[in-house]
A and B are shown apart, each in its own frame.
Chain A
Amino acid sequence: MADVTTAQDVVTYRESVAEGIAREMRRDPTVVCLGEDIGAAGGVFKTTVGLFDEFGPERVWDTPISEQAIVGAAMGAAMTGMRPVAEIMFSDFLACCWDYLANEIPKVRYMTGGQVTVPLVIRTANGGGLGFGAQHSQSVENWALTVPGLKIAAPSTPADVVGLMASAVRSDDPVVFFEHKGLFASKGAPAPDGHVVPFGEAAVLRQGTDVTLVALASTVPMALTAADRLAAEGVEAEVLDLRCLIPLDVTAVLRSVERTSRLVVVEENPYQGGWGATVVSVVADEGFELLDAPVKRVAGANVPLPFADALEDQVIPTVDKVVDTVRSLATY
């Protein structure tokens, strides 16, 4: 009997980015890509490999190092009938074009009384753990969360990369799409044909009765590993992958806390102003009586990210920190 387990049975998160974009480009001729080094070079993270060869220079555009022009041009094209997918190489660089994410893209529909639509995707490599230092390692999904008018996706698996990319490109609203640098090499099942993951639907990846771990992107595998270790100690954790920050699936969080009575949020962005604070505030407001213990947040520390691996581990979430935090709650 032939071995049915072949290399094709798993794909990387990295190649799923290009696959997700390619599927949408094949489906819809108005989808175009722009960004630095995304063409023949295939992107500095190799997340656009193959797109230039398949779709050519009229669909895949290399840009200068001009973040404002990249995102501003994407906005103008989106307002006039295209569906641009713009890459900002490192999410830290979103600060260079933050005017567009804070003042222009999320507001133009509202402030014109609904006269225009901005169907664009801003993709960006987010997060730390790779020793890139303070200006190339941040998790900045919470920046986007501070601005009403942006949809926010942050996949944790190769299949979700494809499925959420489909929803992002098809969305008539602007989407910020965070691809986690630490997950690019990770592997998983490929997305089936036509795979679409709707926005605003969290996934319960592991069922449990003792504590709810709410995670996003890189903290999802971290939470799953922590849950395995906790199971060996007799603590059954339920792991929820939010997949999106806007729309935020608070219903799934509340339902899970109803089952477990305990909540730990695992987020890589800083504790100060991190997305976990919004999740926790909704639970405190609407689910206070479901809780049997204080809520906890395992988050990035309120410091810039250091270079050395050992120092970086001190300030970003780790499996050990998640396990320790859950232990402290289990005995509460």
Chain B
Amino acid sequence: MTDTTTATDLLALHETMAVIRRTEKAAHDLFMSGLVKGTTHLAAGHEAVAVGTRSALKDGDYAFATYRGHHHAIAWGATPEECLAELMQRSTGLNKAKGGSMHLTKADAGMLGSYAIVGAHLPMAVGAAWSARLRKTDQVAVAFFGDGATNIGAFHEALNLAAVWKLPVLFVCENNFYMEYTPIGSVTGVGNPAADRAPSYGIPAEIVDGNDVVAVRDAVARAAGRARAGDGPTVLEAQTYRHYGHSRTDPAKYRPDGELERWLERDPLTVSAGRLREAGTSDDDIKAAEDRAAAVVDQAIAAARAAPQADLSEAFTDVWADGGAAWRT
């Protein structure tokens, strides 16, 4: 527990993580019952990275996420109902049922999208940080990405440009040790895929316990402080683990026996509950927060199920800024 994180703050973070966990379980269960189609990439296990980061930033700061991005959308204020409605192709979906699981976006809160081409959004975050500098605001931009993204060109171009232009951007790697089905160590020339690359661009890096919401929060606060002071970008490598497979078709049989169980002992919710107890929060209060989270998600499932399907006219809206799709005159 740090000076800046009170037990009340931490209980709120714990509750948000519980909302994300419940939403991911709902997404999984609704997929299995045929109500969610396409694909999903669940972030159960990654909650502390999203919630810890958001809690260290200010309103108006920007986030760019990946196709495994439900947790970031919720951490930036999307409701479970909006998210589940999107997954269930409802007109009330976060993206009007035009994006789906891989593209959850909450732009009015600064969460500027979830991108499904690996690494593509890192340069975008650099651009948002450049824009903040040009507009002379004190905003920072965060790019969340997986360990696999550190081997794609856009990662390297983004780090270099951010360093050269000394921009207020945070590169937050969610290293869950697998690029899709393959252990990241078997396809990467360095041990820490993000943190070990940062020094070659002159960018400071820090390896963080990505399952400890307080550790993430503190590291992000340090990095954001440097960024706002004009000291440029930081790479944070948050070590974490995904509880489900890569996507909904992946049972993750490639993981060695016992690995998941070892990580479950350090489940982000277990870690934050432990911190809460140390700070004197009662088990009853912790359980009450988790019950509230469960109730919110149960209600969200019911509301999403009851919502109407996507409005067919939406297929031909939002191509252009005038709202339409006209390609000819």
Contacts and interface: CB of A to CB of B under 8 A. Distances in A.
A112 B130 CA distance: 23
Interface of B is mostly: mixed
Interface in A204-244: none
Contact of B323 (A63, A75, A114): A114
A104 interface: yes
Interface string A96-113: 000110011000111111
Given A110-B319, A113-B98, A251-B329, A66 B131 contact: no
A63 B319 CA distance: 30
A82 B158 contact: no
Contacts of A171: 321
Contacts of A82: 130-131, 134-135
Contacts of B265: none
A32 B98 contact: no
A113 B123 contact: no
Interface in A64-81: 64, 66, 68-69, 71-81
A104 B319 contact: no
A172 B120 contact: no
B319 A68 contact: no
Interface string B91-105: 001111111000101
A125 interface: no
Interface in A141-167: 148-149
A247 interface: yes
B288 interface: no
Given A66-B157, A66-B161, A99 B117 contact: yes
Contacts of B158: 68-69, 72
Contact of B319 (A71, A84, A149, A200): A149
B328 A247 contact: yes
B327 interface: yes
Contacts of B115: 104
B211 to A, nearest CB: 29
B62 interface: yes
A9 interface: no
Contacts of B120: 68, 72, 99-100, 103-104
Nearest to A171: B321
A173 B120 CA distance: 20
Contacts of B93: 113
A63 B161 contact: yes
Interface residues of B, number: 55
A243 to B, nearest CB: 11
B273 to A, nearest CB: 35
Nearest to B100: A111
Given A69-B161, A110-B318, A251-B329, A79 B112 contact: yes
A313 interface: no
Contacts of B135: 80-82
Contact of A81 (B64, B131, B317): B131
A109 B134 CA distance: 23
Interface in A279-317: 282
B124 A110 contact: no
A83 to B, nearest CB: 10
B63 to A, nearest CB: 12
Nearest to A71: B123
Contacts of A282: 328
A331 interface: no
Interface in B101-140: 103, 105-108, 112-113, 115, 117, 120-132, 134-135
Contacts of B112: 76, 79-80, 116
A111 B121 CA distance: 15
Given A248-B329, A250-B328, 9 more contacts: A64-B161, A69-B154, A76-B129, A80-B132, A113-B96, A116-B112, A172-B322, A173-B320, A248-B328
Interface of A: 32, 58, 61, 63-64, 66, 68-69, 71-82, 84, 99-100, 103-104, 108-117, 119, 148-149, 171-173, 200-201, 246-251, 282
6 contacts: A32-B134, A64-B160, A75-B127, A77-B127, A114-B323, A148-B327
